[in-house]
Chains A and B, each alone.
Chain A
Amino acid sequence: MQLIEERLRSLMLQSLAGDAAAYRVFLDELTTHLRSYLRRRLGALPDEVEDLLQELLLAVHNKRHTYGPKQPLTPWVQAIARYKLVDLLRRRSRRDVLTDPLDEDDQVFATTANDATEAQYDVAKLLRGLPDRQRLPILYVKIEGASVTDTAIRTGMSESAVKVGVHRGLKALAERIRSIE
Chain B
Amino acid sequence: MKTEDLVSLLSTGAEAVDLRLPSRRWFLALAGGALIAFLLTAGLLKLNPALWHETSKPMFWVRESFCAVLGILGFTAVARLARPGLRLGLAPVGIAVAVIAMWVLAVMTLAAASPQDRARLILGHTAGACPFLIALVAAPLFAALLVVMRSLAPTRLRWAGAASGFAAGSIGALVYTLHCPELAPPFIGIWYLIGMLIPTAIGAWLGPSLLRW
Contact = CB atoms under 8 A, between A and B. Distances in A.
Interface of A: 15-18, 20-21, 23-24, 27-28, 31, 35, 50, 53-54, 57-59, 61, 63-69, 71-72, 75-80, 82-83, 87, 116, 118-119, 122-124, 127, 138, 141-143, 145-148, 163, 166, 170
Given A63-B153, A66-B84, A18 B14 contact: yes
Given A75-B85, A119-B1, A80 B11 contact: no
B120 interface: no
A79 B84 contact: yes
Given A118-B2, A142-B13, 17 more contacts: A16-B19, A23-B10, A23-B11, A27-B7, A28-B4, A31-B7, A57-B6, A59-B153, A61-B10, A64-B17, A68-B19, A71-B86, A77-B84, A79-B155, A83-B84, A123-B1, A147-B13
A6 to B, nearest CB: 16
Interface in B2-38: 2-19, 21-22
Interface residues of B, number: 31
A67 B3 contact: no
B6 A58 contact: yes
Interface of B: 1-19, 21-22, 82-86, 152-153, 155, 212-213
A14 to B, nearest CB: 10
Q: Interface SS of chain A: helix, strand, loop or mixed?
A: helix
Given A66-B22, A76-B83, A141 B7 contact: no
Contacts of A61: 10
B153 A66 contact: yes
